[in-house]
Amino acid sequence: MRMRDKGVYAIAAAMLAISGSAAFAKTIVVAPGDDAQTRLQEALISAAPGDVVELGAGRFKLTDGLSLDVPKVTVRGKGSGQTILDFTGQLGAGEGLLVTSDDVVLRDFAVENTKGDGIKSKGADRIVYYQIRVEWTGGPKETNGAYGIYPVESQDVLVDSVLVRGASDAGIYVGQSRNIVVRNSVALENVAGIEIENSYDADVHDNLATKNTGGILVFDLPNLLQMGGKNVRIFENVVVDNSTPNFAPKGNIVANVPTGTGVMVMANRNVHVFDNMLGQNGTTNVMVVGYRYPHQDPKYDPIARGVAIWGNQHDKAGWDPKFPGSQQIATALGGSLPPIFWDGAGGDEAKPVVSDPVPALSLGLTDLKASPENAQPVMLQNSTNLPQELPRIRLPESMEAAVR
Amino acid sequence: MRLLLAAVAALALAVSVKGKPADMNDAAIVSAEYPASLSAYGFFTGGADRPSPALLPYALRTPLFTDYAEKQRFLYMPAGAKFSVDGDGRLQFPVGSALIKSFGYHDASGKLNIIETRLLLHRAEGWVALPYVWNADGSDAVLKVGGARKPVDFTKPDGTKMSISYSVPNKNQCKQCHSTKDSVMPVGPVWQNLSFTNAKAQLAFEARGAAPAKLAALEAKWDDSKSGALEARALAYLRVNCGHCHKPTGSASNSGLFYDDHERNAAALGIGKRPVAAGRGSGNFDFVIEPGHPERSILIYRMKSTDPGIAMPELGRATAHDEGVALLEAWIKSLPVS
């Protein structure tokens, strides 16, 4: 009897294992056309874990935000040039697509012209964005939505082979998350190309960030549930010609990013910038600064610490710097800013380690309240005393499998 | 096997009750299914204007604004069941309970036309939120998990005539506002904020639960200056209209802007706080609330807008709530300029 029970359990367990994978998973096909809003939203609600929601080729004309709250669902189109979720006529909701469940894969479709953010995933662990395009098709405009691809408050995030264009804040924005990879992607004509904010443990590599206001940003802000952003590696990216005049609505932190910024680190810890190709950035290729605004958050550290910069290839930079007081500094230095500069916040103990063989500058603004007009520039000595390399980010195998 | 038996039993129960539409169908509330028609539950005996005598009507002193829609709220609990009240005043309902909320508008003749009825069903696995849209003839309502849009004409309190695209939320959007730590939870029924249209309704409602021994007095009523000071009324409005998402366990937790019961420091309320992910919702202003300056406060800018990329709250806001805006403008104006 006992043996028999065991046998039944074994069969039940086997069936459960199968149902958890593919045997009972179904594919729900949704085509563009009349009432696409309701049909697609109902498919996203009726999907069961393991299912694929397959979006047909063509243009889905949508009037409201879509949302997915079922775990282990793949939403898959016919390609980011073929399957287009068109939100030009959007009447409600703060984003085009909102994902709030775990283990979701989004791939091979495009989201265009949302009124707010493009695709947001919140508290969605192990989310995968693959071969997605998010675009405001009119190009850079202040009236475009804020973020293109927007994972937040998530553990394990993969953004791979996406293209984002026209975001009035950040094209790819990862906020308050942990264990993050952003790779093989293109950020074009956004205010911030790629931004990692208030996050822990991120690899940003093999991306192209060009014609943004700022290419790649690593920020930490006060008054949030997760602060103390740290352990970010920016490597093997091409960050060139970030020249689009800042078009962010004022009040947003990125509205203060100077046009022509390559990589910008603000108030983070342990950020390693290495083996990138950087150039044609009119303000500078790499900028390291403190958070220089008043705040009342005793738990917040506004100083950037543990920043290391090595192995990067630098092309022309700094000929047209765009932050207050920068023209005077450039004049004093013979016409342009060097390709690397640090505001000096926090003093010597916070000084970035720079081993790139190019001029690097400290503005000497140790005090966060000091204005750039009061800069006392001194050159930063090159150093070979690099910190220990941060470990490579490893994602759960299920996420890597989803993009193979 | 046990599950299957339970399902069969539930089905049998459902079938046996079906012949008596006037009766409540307790099994429909707790079953794993989503009944396609509202009539399956027995909450209404015909149209939306005929609630079952088993429903307990209630109202809220400070309600959530939804495009000036008229709302009718009911509680249903199975026979013998009772609610309790937790330390914060939140009513706790046993499994098998349902919260029923109808939304509609008065037409020119004064008749109330109900568009939709939203259900919160307390099942063994937790609360489930479902939207039902009434048929054109008002005889029954059908489940629309994907939501719906309906053209609506109405007149605002100030006499302005409005034509809007009224949005019935989809099932996920229901959860967006009713979410606590990723579970669906009721929002409205808080002891300090309950009100009743008459003493009979109040007696019937309160008889079904244990009144809390010691709780704060009734909360300020947002539009009644005799009920509390300006700040108390403003904070009550913010709690009800924003606090369901803007709390550390809610949909807007990443904003760091909190209007629930527990967060009362200046930055969490937005006073002198810079936006985080507002995008063009910032309106080119620096602070969520700038004391003394409602005209430069992002909170007011977003409350006044009906653009989906800017408007707050995000749902039920094809119209701005002029009276709510006026209350918060007055409060921000009154805040000391530092």
DSSP strand pairing (A230-235 vs A117-122): unpaired
Locate tokens 């012209």: which residue? A113
Across the interface, which of A42, A225, A252 has its CB nearest the CB of B248? Answer: A225
DSSP-H helix ranges across A90-205: none
CB crowding A248-268: b at 16 or more within 10 Å, else e: bbebbbbbebbbbbbbbbbbb
Separation between Cα atoms, residue A228 and residue B71, nearest integer Å: 44
Q: How many contacts does A have with B, using Cβ atoms within 8 A?
A: 148
Q: Which of B170, B285, B307 sits opposite A45 (nearest CB)?
A: B170
Q: Which of A270, A261, A286, A399 is nearest to A342 (CA)?
A: A286
Quick one: tokens of B123? 């099942």
CA distance B181 to chain A (A): 10
Query: Regarding beta strands A58-61 and A178-183, do their DSSP bridges make them parallel or antiparallel, or are they unpaired?
Result: unpaired
Residue B306's CB is within 10 A of a number of other CB atoms, namely: 14
- Give every strand in the sheet of B70-76, ordered side by side: B141-143, B126-134, B112-123, B98-106, B70-76, B56-60, B194-195
Cβ partners under 8 Å of residue B292, min gap 6: B332, B333, B335, B336, B337
Cα separations in angstroms, B18 against B26, B29, B70 = 11, 14, 31
Report the chain B residue with the minimal C-alpha distance to residue A118.
B309
Chain B hits for A62, CB-CB cut-off 8 Å, are none
Do the chains contact at B279 and A168, CB–CB below 8 Å?
A: yes
Those of residues 290-329 in A touching chain B at CB distance below 8 A are 293-297
In A, minimum Cα distance to B176 occurs at: A100
Distance CA A158, CA A193 (A): 16
Return the ∠ at Cα B30 (arms to B25 and B32), rounded to 5°: 115
Instruction: Read off φ and ψ for residue B253, nearest 5 degrees.
Output: -60, -35
Q: Which residues of A touch B177 (CB under 8 A)?
A: none
- As a whole-number percent, the residues of chain A with pLDDT over 70 amount to 94
List, in order, residues 6 or more apart from A395 with CB less than 8 Å away. Answer: A126, A156, A158, A179, A181
pLDDT computed for residue B137 by the predictor:
93
Q: Please check whether residue B49 is in contact with residue B118, taking contact to mean a CB–CB distance below 8 angstroms.
A: no
Distance from the Cα of A167 to chain B's closest Cα (Å) equals 9
**Residue among B100, B98, B96 at smallest CA distance from B48:** B100
How far apart CA A41 and CA A8 sit, in angstroms, is 39
Question: Residue A170: which of A203, A197, A204 has the closest Cα?
Answer: A197
CA distance A213 to A82: 29
- Shortest Cα distance, chain B CAs vs residue A298, angstroms: 12
Burial environment of residue A331 by CB neighbours within 10 A (0 to 12, 13 to 18, 19 or more): exposed
| pLDDT tens digit at each of 338 positions of chain B | 344 444 444 444 444 344 333 578 999 999 989 999 999 999 999 899 999 999 999 999 999 999 999 999 999 999 999 999 988 889 999 999 999 999 999 998 889 999 999 999 999 999 999 999 999 999 999 999 999 999 999 999 999 999 999 999 999 988 888 988 888 899 889 998 999 999 999 999 999 998 776 666 788 999 999 999 999 999 999 999 999 999 998 999 999 999 987 667 888 999 999 998 888 889 999 999 999 999 999 999 999 999 988 999 999 999 999 999 999 999 999 999 97
- A204, A220 in Cβ contact below 8 A? no
CB B49 within 8 A of CB B141: no
A250–B172: do the CB atoms touch at under 8 Å? Answer: no
Contacts of A177 in chain B (CB under 8 A): none
Q: How would you list the strands of the sheet with A105-107, edge to edge?
A: A27-30, A52-55, A74-76, A105-107, A127-130, A155-160, A178-183, A200-205, A230-235, A269-274, A305-310, A353-354
* CA distance readout (Å), A63 to A29, A82, A263, B131: 20, 20, 37, 18
User: What are the contacts of B62-65 at 24+ separation with CB within 8 A?
Assistant: B62/B193, B62/B219, B62/B220, B62/B221, B62/B222, B62/B233, B62/B236, B62/B237, B62/B239, B62/B240, B63/B188, B63/B240, B64/B187, B64/B188, B64/B240, B64/B241, B64/B244, B64/B316, B65/B241, B65/B313, B65/B316, B65/B317, B65/B321, B65/B324
Give the pLDDT confidence of B3-27 residue by residue, as tens digits: 444 444 444 444 434 433 357 899 9
d(CA B267, CA B288) in angstroms, rounded, equals 9
Rounded to two decimals, what is the model's pTM?
0.89
When scoring B175, B269, B276, B290 by the number of chain A Cβ atoms within 10 A, the one with the most, hence best to mutate, is B276
C-beta neighbour count of A14 within 10 angstroms: 10
pLDDT tens-place string over residues A140-196: 999 999 999 999 999 999 999 999 999 999 999 999 999 999 999 999 999 999 999
For every residue of A285-312, which 3-state class applies, written as one string?
Answer: EEEEECCCCCCCCCCCCCCCEEEEEECC
Whether cis (ω within 30° of 0) applies to the bond prior to A338 is: no
Domain boundaries, chain B: 24-206, 230-334
Q: Comparing C-alpha atoms, which of A103, A153, A24, A95 is closest to residue B279?
A: A95
For B283, the closest chain A residue by CA position comes to: A249
Under an 8 A CB cutoff, do A251 and B308 touch?
Answer: no
CA-nearest residue to B302 within chain A is: A94
Token pair recorded at residue A58: 């063509």
Contacts of A143 in chain B (CB under 8 A): 280
User: What interface predicted TM-score (ipTM) does this complex get?
Assistant: 0.85
| Contact partners, residue B58, CB within 8 Å, separation at least 6 | B73, B74, B75, B189, B194, B195, B196, B201, B205
SS (H, E, C) A341-383: EECCCCCHHHCCEECCCCCEEECCCCCCCCCHHHCCCEECCCC
**Contact A93/B314, CB-based, under 8 Å?**
yes
The answer to whether the CB atoms of A147 and B277 lie below 8 A apart is: yes
Residue of A nearest to B184 (CA): A69
Chain A residues 354-383 with a CB less than 8 Å from chain B = none
| A172 contact B CB<8A | no
* Chain A partners within 8 Å of B298 (Cβ): 251
Put simply, the answer to whether B267 touches A221 (Cβ < 8 Å) is: no
Mark out the alpha helices in B258-321 (DSSP H runs). Answer: 266-269, 298-304
A117–B279: do the CB atoms touch at under 8 Å?
yes
Nearest to A142 among B254, B274, B280 (CB): B280
DSSP for A6-74 reads HHHHHHHHHHHHHHHTTTT--EEEE-SSTTHHHHHHHHHHH--TT-EEEEPSEEEE-SEEEEE--TT-E
CA distance B133 to chain A (A): 14
Q: Which positions of chain A have pLDDT values less than 70? A: 1-23
Q: Is residue B20 packed enough to be buried (19+ CB in 10 Å), middle (13-18) or exposed (0-12)? A: exposed
Say whether B254 and A225 touch across the interface (CB within 8 A).
yes
Q: Do B149 and A175 touch (CB under 8 A)?
A: no
Q: Are A287 and A249 in contact (CB under 8 A)?
A: no
**Which tokens go with B300?**
């007011």
DSSP conformation class of B190: B
**A161 and A190 in contact (C-beta within 8 Å)?**
no
* Cα–chain center distance at B24: 23
pLDDT of residue B132: 97
Quick one: tokens of A218?
């690593």
Query: E-assigned strands of chain B?
Result: 56-60, 70-76, 84-85, 91-92, 98-106, 112-123, 126-134, 141-143, 148-155, 161-168, 179-180, 183-184, 194-195
